[in-house]
Structure 1
Amino acid sequence: MTKLNRRSFIQTSIASVGGLMLTPASAYADATVAQKPPAQSPAGPDDIVALADYCLQTTYDNLPSAVIAITKNQILDTVGAALGGTNEPGAKEIREFTIDMAGKREAAIWGTSIQVPAQDAARVNAIMADALDYDDTYERSFMHPSVITIPAALAVTDMLGNVSGRDLITATALGVDLACRLANSAQPGVDAFIVGWHNTSLYGYFASTFVAGKLMGLTRDQLVSALGIAFHQASGNSQAHLDGALTKRMGAGFASYAGVMAARLSQRGVQGAKNILEGRRGFYYQFHGNKYSRDFLFEGLGSTFAATEVSFKPWPSCRGSHTAVDAALTMFAENKIEAPDVESITIYNGPGEYLLLDFPLGKKQNLTSVVDAQFSNPWVVACALVDHKVGFEHFTAAAIRRPDLLAMVKRINTMEDKSLARPGGGPGATRLDVSLKDGRTFTKTVAFAKGEPKNPMSPIEFRQKFLDCTKKAGMSSAQAQALMADIQQLETLPKANTLTTAMAL
């Protein structure tokens, strides 16, 4: 690995564009600080310039071997989740709509031989990848980075035709890193869901633009302009989570479409805003009350990568629910607890998880959609108790009407416990208190669910997840194994667009 560092990128930006002020006074690690004037100097470049330089100058040889390995796992995981989500509500409709609209044949809809315009393919494939809620998570910022980078990366790879596996890995790793850096830097210490943002959607506009611009070989000015075009569209709120709406699954797709389109428009000469992050109506000012940390944005730039902190999901539900699933499965197995034995269960979570997954209790018990089920701790705990597992079969229109699961959900209560919040951000711990009909009680607390770097899935579990997803899509075991092998040796492929061909059913 050839090491690049933050200083080299910033110095390059200063030399070409002007003085960039990066002082302790401009770094706000405490999100409770008072609002301040925009940090941007009229003569200095916006911080987006240094990020664009980092994106464009970083090569495959600059990536640590661990990041390369994790990035390939992210691609494998995302492709599997997307194929498994092909016919899920929301994904099915957007796929059929896109096929009906047709257009120039540029990039494949995964799992088919159908090609559509690249930005349309990115949108469909991202929505498919998000539909099962089985995509990876950057927990510190409550964001799913792969679903907002990999669909765009593969769509552009198909469109260009000459992108190598190494180039695909590099663009993906950078898109993930930059999305996570931006999310970390904005209102640090504040839960985005409590504020009302859906970080996956919001930062997806930037991530997909970085990825597309990198692969398309945009110049610095073109990439900055593309990011300005994307910023003009950036959005994503968490109301869909609260309402159990299918649009929760679509935000990553809207962002991926916009990022690919922004890069293409910029390449044709369309100009976007330049003072994207620190301008008077820039991202930090307009979206975050001008509360941000430049230290979090630039710390370790070029030497540390967000991919090393990504968690992979062992269960198809909101990542915040996984400490509850883990606690439930472990407790019930260790103590041989069966559903008829249980008098009551109380789930305790910190403020963020409580508001998203536990409250209001009536809504979390009386589900009206599959999305409701994916965001209900009482539901996943009931599934773990009754069926001793949590899987695809628990997140269907039929499952949420099962009498045995509905009866168990009614015995589950939820409570807020601020002590369970995770310091530094990310999904907090879950404590389960279980009372049995014979008078015995049990307690189990899980702070780090399976799938986190501190508690990873085993290689066998990870591969089996991919095979389960591809089987759900109707792919044969032989085809799935061959696709897995292609992704695992991606850096050897001279043309990475062979991946989407290998996915076609």
Structure 2
Amino acid sequence: MTQDLAEAFARHAVSTRRADLPPAAIAAAKTFLLDTLGVAIAGSSGANVQTVLDLAAQWGPGEEATAWLGGRRMSAGSAAIVNAYLIHCLEFDCVHERAVVHPMATLLSALFAWCEREAARGRPVSGDRFLAAMAVGVDTAGLLGVATDSALRFFRPATAGGFGATAAIANLAGFDIATTRSAFGHMYGQTSGNLQAHLEGSPLLGLQIGFNARGAIAATDLAAAGMQGPLDVFTGRYGYFSLIEQDVHPERVTSVLGREWQIEKLSHKPFPSGRLTHGVVHGLRDLMMQHGFAADQVAEVVCRAPPLVLRLVGRPNVPDPASNYAKLCLPFVAAVFLAKGRCDVPDFRGEALRDPEVHRYAALVRLEPDGNTDENTLDPQVVEVRLTSGQTLSITLPRIYGHPAVPLSAADNEEKFFRCCRHAVPPVPEARAVVLRDLVTGIEQLGNVADLVAAVAGKA
């Protein structure tokens, strides 16, 4: 590898401004900012959130930033951990499909905490500047995933996400290229995130995102203080693309950086489950609408999908799954839709996880490989349903609902946001949700994005 990706990412981070973003990128930034805040608010109903909140406050007490759950104040790094966990714990946050990265969870949790700390020091960050930093962060995290053809070995939303958050903070901090490269080096020293947590459905999965969000704040602090980090962290002998990712194509980064905005390539999650489970729900929904059959007429469901789907969500249904396991189990997610005609937040917690009707339908669902050799794609997929009458129905999905080619409408995005607010513990009153939506819509007019945090935490 001859291209210096650290130099390329650093140059992009320090030079990008709001005026560089096309209207489509700005619209996407607002769409997925609202979406991410909504799923974080709903995340207050997730498992282990109080434990994470209490421990994070012990790890980093202080008054620098706000944990969105209850508005508790703590250090910026600890607030980033809590808020990252809130964003990801329901498996409801947006994703860059080609990169296999959830960029917003690490990015926004770190960025908002850093901005709050800056505001407390008399240096508020405007919404206009915040939009540019968001775009930089998504470009960095997304293109780190796009650059590789290797099968996922580490948890990319955490590993790539940390570099995205570092680039975004560097943009707001006014770093030069050398300081930004140093910050990348300090981030690399903290980079973490394993797939074992994903395999077992462990709540550590969301915490790994939080650890890297905290790492991004620490990395930029170290670089700002003049402490030198390693420089060739992506393409060096022991760099990111040697140890964490392989089969790398640097030209995929350099050919589009600053030209194609990755924030426009994000996919919604219409359902609170692993994105790789969404194809079977999309297929079942469309087949049932087109052919008019009911769930109790289904004898078998077969999903033919690429290797990424089989590897990450092809796990067996179990009688009493943990919430995280169930959300990442394709047969269970398909069965939820068949049993209830929906897939929503309450369907993956408490007694719903042991619903005998759901488990009866899950036993009818199986996955098969489709012969695709791409280790980083989730489509196309084929969903086939055999009815009790013997009739077989099939649908091919070139893209899955939520992808930019099959997007949620603006109205659907708002509906998801308001529904997430109702799922919060306690539920967010609609009047407050409307205020929050309007703040995001007009974020360019915000003189201090900390005001947005106060609204999310119910302190405005």
> Is the shorter-chain TM-score for this pair beyond 0.5, marking a shared fold?
yes
Deviations 1:54-99 (A, max 9, x none): 1111111111111111111121111111111023114332112223
Greater Cα offset, 295-304 or 342-351? 342-351
What number of residue pairs does the alignment pair up?
A: 452
* Match status 1:403 vs 2:374: no
Determine the structure 2 residue equivalent to 1:13: none
* Match status 1:180 vs 2:180: no
Equivalences for residues 36-185 of structure 1 within 5 A = 39=2, 46-101=4-59, 103-161=61-119, 162-185=124-147
Greater Cα offset, 153-162 or 342-351? 342-351
1:210 positional shift: 1.1
For 1:256 and 1:101, the matched residues in 2 are separated by 15
Determine the structure 2 residue equivalent to 1:343: 299
* CA contact 2:308–2:375 (8 Å) conserved in 1: no
Deviations 1:426-482 (A, max 9, x none): 212332222222222222222312111111111111101000111111110000011
1:486 positional shift: 0.3
Which residue of 399, 405, 430 maps to 1:477?
Answer: 430
Normalised to the residue count of structure 1, the TM-score between the two structures is: 0.86
Letter in 1 for 2:445: T
For 2:170 and 2:238, the matched residues in 1 are separated by 24
Determine the structure 2 residue equivalent to 1:500: 453
* CA contact 1:142–1:427 (8 Å) conserved in 2: no
For 1:51 and 1:365, the matched residues in 2 are separated by 43
For 2:233 and 2:205, the matched residues in 1 are separated by 26
Letter in 2 for 1:180: G
Where does structure 2 lack aligned partners over 5 or more consecutive residues?
none
Equivalences for residues 331-480 of structure 1 within 5 A = 331-359=287-315, 363-366=316-319, 368-419=321-372, 425-473=376-424, 474-480=427-433
Query: What secondary structure sits across from 1:414 in the alignment?
Result: strand
1:126 positional shift: 0.8
For 1:284 and 1:189, the matched residues in 2 are separated by 11
* CA contact 1:324–1:446 (8 Å) conserved in 2: no
* CA contact 1:84–1:470 (8 Å) conserved in 2: yes
1:296 positional shift: 0.7
Letter in 2 for 1:375: L
For 2:38 and 2:324, the matched residues in 1 are separated by 20
Query: What secondary structure sits across from 2:98 in the alignment?
Result: helix
1:343 positional shift: 2.2
* CA contact 2:169–2:220 (8 Å) conserved in 1: yes
Which residue of 250, 275, 279 maps to 1:319?
Answer: 275
* CA contact 1:88–1:132 (8 Å) conserved in 2: yes
Letter in 2 for 1:323: G
* CA contact 1:346–1:432 (8 Å) conserved in 2: yes
* Match status 1:281 vs 2:238: yes
Alignment CA distance shift 1:458-1:120 (3 Å): same
For 1:416 and 1:50, the matched residues in 2 are separated by 38
* CA contact 1:134–1:317 (8 Å) conserved in 2: yes
Query: What secondary structure sits across from 1:348 in the alignment?
Result: strand
* CA contact 2:16–2:171 (8 Å) conserved in 1: no
For 2:81 and 2:285, the matched residues in 1 are separated by 35
1:356 positional shift: 1.6
Letter in 1 for 2:18: Y
Determine the structure 2 residue equivalent to 1:299: 255
Normalised to the residue count of structure 2, the TM-score between the two structures is: 0.94
For 1:167 and 1:53, the matched residues in 2 are separated by 17
Letter in 2 for 1:229: H
